[in-house]
Amino acid sequence: MTSPSVRVIAPRSTVAALGWALVALLGAGALATIALSRGEPVSAIWLLVAALCTYAIGYRFYSAFIAARIFALDDARPTPAERLADGRDFVPTNRWIVFGHHFAAIAGPGPLVGPTLAAQFGYLPGVLWIVVGVVLGGAVQDFVILCSSVRRNGKSLGQMARDEIGPVAGFTAMVAVLGIMVVLLAVLALVVVNALRSSPWGTVTIGLTIPIAMLMGVYMRWLRPGRVLEASAIGLVLLVLSLYAGRWVAEQPQLASLFTLSGRTLAVAIMIYGFAASVIPVWLLLAPRDYLSAFVKIGVVIALAVGILVALPPLQMPALTRFTDGTGPVFAGALFPFAFITIACGSISGFHALIASGTTPKLLAREGDARLVGYGGMLVESFVAVMALIAACALTPGVYFAINAPVSALGTTAQSAAAAIAAWGFVVTPLELETLARQVGESSLLSRTGGAPSLAVGMAHIFSRVLGGDSAMALWYHFAIMFEALFILTTVDADTRVGRFMLQDLGKHVWPRFGETSWTPAVVVSSGLFVAMWGHFLWQGVNDPLGGINSLWPLFGISNQLLAAVALCVATTIIIKMGKARHAWVTLLPLTWILIVTMTAGYQKLFSPLPRLGFFAHARLLEAARDGGTLPAGVASATDLGRMIANDYLDAAVAAFFLLAVLVVIADSAREWWAVVKGGKAAQSTEIPFVPRPAVAGD
Eight-state DSSP code of residue 40? S
Residues 444-503 that bind other proteins (CB under 8 A): 490-491, 494-495, 497-498, 501-502
Handedness of CA 664, 665, 668, 670 (dihedral sign): negative
Nearest distance from C-beta of residue 51 to other proteins, angstroms: 21
Least distance CB 517 / other proteins (angstroms)? 8
Q: What DSSP designation does 447 have?
A: T
The neighbour count for residue 582, using CB atoms within 10 Å, is 9
Contact status: 85 vs other proteins (CB under 8 A):
yes
Of 352, 362, 465, 612, the one binding other proteins by CB under 8 A: 352
Query: What does the angle CA 109 – CA 257 – CA 273 come to, to the nearest 5 degrees?
Result: 40
CB of 357 to other proteins, least distance (A): 7
Helix (H) or strand (E) holding 43: strand 42-43
Using alpha carbons, select from 186, 39, 14 the residue that is nearest to residue 122.
39
DSSP output for 46-92: HHHHHHHHHHHHIIIIIIHHIIIIII---TTSPPHHHHT--SSS---
Q: How far apart are CA 697 and CA 286, in angstroms?
A: 43
- 342 touches other proteins by CB under 8 A: no
Part of the chain binding other proteins (CB under 8 A), chosen from 66-74, 98-106, 268-276, 391-399: 98-106
Q: What is the 3-state secondary structure (H, E, C) of 382-445?
A: HHHHHHHHHHHHCCCHHHHHHHHCCHHHHCCCHHHHHHHHHHCCCCCCHHHHHHHHHHCCCCCC
Q: Which is nearer to other proteins, 428 or 570 (CB)?
A: 570
Judged by CB under 8 A, the stretch of 63-71, 88-96, 383-391, 651-659 that binds other proteins is 88-96
Q: Which is nearer to other proteins, 216 or 436 (CB)?
A: 216
Taking CB under 8 A as the rule, does residue 81 contact other proteins? Answer: no
- The minimum distance between CB 498 and other proteins, in angstroms, equals 5
Does residue 525 belong to the site contacting other proteins (CB under 8 A)? Answer: no
Q: Which amino acid is at 600?
A: T
For the chain, report the end-to-end CA distance as a whole number of angstroms. 22
Among 228, 305, 529, 621, binds other proteins (CB under 8 A): 228
Q: Which amino acid is at 577?
A: K
Contact status: 188 vs other proteins (CB under 8 A): yes
Taking contact as CB under 8 A, which single stretch among the options 64-72, 347-355, 444-452, 626-634 is the one that binds other proteins?
Answer: 347-355
Q: Which is nearer to other proteins, 102 or 465 (CB)?
A: 102
Q: At its nearest, how many Å lie between other proteins and the CB of residue 295? A: 7
Contact region for other proteins (CB under 8 A) — 97-105, 129-137, 406-414, 632-640?
A: 97-105
CA–CA distance, 605 with 332 (Å, rounded to integer):
9
Determine the interface stretch with other proteins among 44-52, 125-133, 355-363, 542-550 (rule: CB under 8 A): 355-363
Minimum CB separation from other proteins for residue 630, in Å?
39
Q: Which of 39, 226, 253, 679 binds other proteins (CB under 8 A)?
A: 226
Q: Residue 368: helix, strand or coil by DSSP? A: coil
Binding residues for other proteins restricted to 547-566, rule: CB under 8 A = 556, 560
Residue nearer to other proteins on the CB measure, 67 or 356: 356
Shortest spacing between CB 142 and other proteins, in angstroms: 11
Task: Scan residues 608-667 and list those touching other proteins (CB under 8 A).
Answer: none
Q: Which is nearer to other proteins, 232 or 447 (CB)?
A: 232
d(CA 53, CA 49): 6
Distances (CA, A) of 413 to 433, 446, 481: 10, 8, 23
Calpha distance 251→156 (Å, rounded): 50
Q: Does 153 bind other proteins (CB under 8 A)?
A: no
Distance (Å, rounded) from C-alpha 426 to C-alpha 435? 18
Nearest residue (CB) to other proteins, 291 versus 331: 291
Q: Minimal distance in Å, beta carbon 107 to other proteins?
A: 7
Task: For residues 208 and 590, give the distance between their C-alpha atoms in angstroms, rounded to a whole number.
Answer: 43
**698: contact with other proteins by CB under 8 A:** no
Are the C-beta atoms of residues 492 and 189 closer than 8 Å to each other?
yes
Q: Which is closer to other proteins, CB of 232 or CB of 324?
A: 232
- Helix locations, 578-637, DSSP H: 585-607, 615-628
The DSSP secondary-structure symbol of 372 reads: I
- The reply on whether position 351 binds other proteins by CB under 8 A is yes
Based on the shown chain and the rule CB under 8 A, indicate whether residue 97 belongs to the binding site for other proteins: yes
Measured between alpha carbons, how far is residue 226 from residues 89, 219, 223, 290 in Å? Answer: 18, 9, 9, 15
Nearest to 23 by CA among 59, 52, 61: 52
Length of the chain, in residues: 699
Binding of residue 287 to other proteins (CB under 8 A): yes
Query: In whole angstroms, how close is the CB of 98 to other proteins at the nearest point?
Result: 9
The residue among 139 and 584 lying less far from other proteins, judged by its C-beta, is 139
How far apart CA 381 and CA 387 sit, in angstroms, is 10
Q: How many residues bind other proteins (CB under 8 A)?
A: 59
Q: Which amino acid is at 229?
A: L
Q: How far apart are CA 585 and CA 589, in angstroms?
A: 5
The span from the CA of 41 to the CA of 239, in Å, is 37
For position 91 contacting other proteins by CB under 8 A, the verdict is: yes
Which secondary structure element, helix H or strand E, spans residue 482, and what is its range? helix 473-507
When asked if residue 355 is in the footprint of other proteins (CB under 8 A), the reply is yes
* DSSP single-letter state for residue 300: H
Stretch near other proteins under the rule CB under 8 A, chosen from 106-114, 533-541, 583-591, 665-673? 106-114
Residue 283 contacts other proteins per CB under 8 A: yes
Judged by CB under 8 A, the residue of 64, 345, 474, 601 near other proteins is: 345
The verdict on 291 binding other proteins (CB under 8 A) reads yes
Q: Which region, judged by CB under 8 A, interacts with other proteins, from 93-101, 409-417, 605-613, 633-641? A: 93-101
Q: How far is the CB of 282 from other proteins (least distance, A)?
A: 5
Judged by the rule CB under 8 A, the positions of this chain that interact with other proteins are: 85-89, 91, 93-94, 97, 100-101, 104-110, 156, 177, 181, 184, 188, 221, 225-226, 228-229, 232, 282-283, 286-287, 290-291, 294-295, 298, 344-345, 349, 351-352, 354-355, 357-359, 490-491, 494-495, 497-498, 501-502, 517, 556, 560
